[in-house]
Structure 1
Amino acid sequence: MPTPERTSLDEIITAAREILEADGLDRLTMQAVAERVGVRAPSLYKRVRNREALISLVAKATVEDLGAQLHAVPRTADPRADLAELARAFRSFAHARPAGYRLILGWTPEAVPTDTDMLTEASAPVLEVTAELAGPDQALNAARLFTAWGNGFISMELAGAFNLGGDVEAAFEYGITRLAEAIRQ
């Protein structure tokens, strides 16, 4: 097994995220991560204090990735179209990393500390577009509405809760179009 010096914090976090997505939060243990990176579990404690700290690092990396995906959405002259693209990016992220998504959106029984500055940075594109649509005084309220609607829709979708038939994709597009219209001042 490699010595702890050969195992970086980035490798540990990457392994933990892979375990989270493949096996779920319950199986995200220090032992599982140690096996994945090829060290003994006690060696991990030189880089990560405990499982709670590991989960916090995974949540932080997940928020950073979500923020990067939202920041990568190109802006246009139409904030309604921009909001729709942000919604699609948000949804795409959730489908690509459902367990990480659940972790950062508070679906877990374990409390995951959040870094307000990091969340602010990740959500900046949404706040910018909602400020254009609703005005600066209502941007935060509009961003919360957007996030709550998106999370509700995605939560139901990931849970397989849309059981009445119909086209879920069309329903998503319908919802984001109506939401953008409602937010527009």
Structure 2
Amino acid sequence: MPTPERTSLDAIVVAARELLEADGPAGLTMSAVAARVGVRAPSLYKRVDSREALVQLVAEATLTDLAARLDAATTARQVLDGFRAFAHERPAAFQLVMTPGPGVPRARAEFGRAASAAALRVGAELAGADRALLAARTLTAWVAGFVVMELNGGFQLGGVVEEAWEFGAERVVASLTAPPGLG
């Protein structure tokens, strides 16, 4: 008789996400995840082939959550604020998907597309349908850069970071707005 399943793939991914936030990427090990879900490490491999596959699953789950968060956004500012709020709630996961670095497993493309839908939608409204992708990339690049610097303590020149956020978000959105008749 086969051994009963002691954990699910969903439980494994949740445990991995918790470890990523608590201990960073270095703390996301198969042994640590196995301990968190209450199985021995070899048992974990019945569900997940490798640490790389686990990191990919975490990235995909993160993008799924981000897509759900941004889906209700109807303005560019809501998209920007939604990205930032998500990043502050789950900074390690945000950096995993937005700035993964070389050699870090990435989510499959369909997860990125789902997470980009809101930015594409508001990008089309701002810059016109033919420039939606350009606008979405600009919004995403600005918010990712700002937030990664914010999370990593990169703003060292003084001043109030919240004021910089307001100023930047306002200027980025204004710069992407298509003049009437274009797009």
When normalised by structure 1's length, the TM-score is: 0.91
| Gap runs ≥5 in structure 1 | 76-81
**1:157 is aligned to 2:166:** no
- Match in the other structure for 1:25: 25
When normalised by structure 2's length, the TM-score is: 0.92
Query: Is contact 1:102-1:108 (8 Å) kept?
Result: no
**1:37 is aligned to 2:37:** yes
Partner SS for 1:163: coil
Query: Is contact 1:104-1:112 (8 Å) kept?
Result: no
Alpha-carbon separation, structure 2, partners of 1:44 and 1:18: 16
- Match in the other structure for 2:181: none
- Match in the other structure for 2:5: 5
Partner SS for 2:5: helix
- Match in the other structure for 1:99: 92
Alpha-carbon separation, structure 2, partners of 1:151 and 1:140: 16
Query: Is contact 1:103-1:112 (8 Å) kept?
Result: no
Alpha-carbon separation, structure 2, partners of 1:182 and 1:162: 23
- Match in the other structure for 1:56: 56
- Letter matched to residue 118 of structure 2: P
- Letter matched to residue 49 of structure 2: R
Alpha-carbon separation, structure 2, partners of 1:167 and 1:106: 25
Query: Is contact 2:100-2:106 (8 Å) kept?
Result: no
The C-alpha deviation readout for 1:119-166, integer Å capped at 9, x for no partner, is: 111111110111011011111011111111111111110111111111
How many residue pairs align between the two structures? Answer: 176
**What's the % identity of the aligned pairs?**
55
**1:110-129, aligned counterparts within 5 Å?**
110-129=103-122
**1:179 is aligned to 2:169:** no
- Match in the other structure for 1:138: 131
- Match in the other structure for 1:72: 72
Query: Is contact 1:4-1:39 (8 Å) kept?
Result: no
The C-alpha deviation readout for 1:30-80, integer Å capped at 9, x for no partner, is: 10001000000000011000111011100100010111111133x2xxxxx
- Letter matched to residue 59 of structure 2: A
Closer, same or farther: CA 113–63 of 1 in aligned 2, 3 Å: same
- Letter matched to residue 121 of structure 1: A
The alpha-carbon deviation at position 167 of structure 1 amounts to 1.4
The C-alpha deviation readout for 1:57-109, integer Å capped at 9, x for no partner, is: 00100010111111133x2xxxxxx1111101100111111110111113444
| Gap runs ≥5 in structure 2 | 179-183
Root-mean-square deviation over aligned CA pairs: 1.2
Alpha-carbon separation, structure 2, partners of 1:90 and 1:138: 21
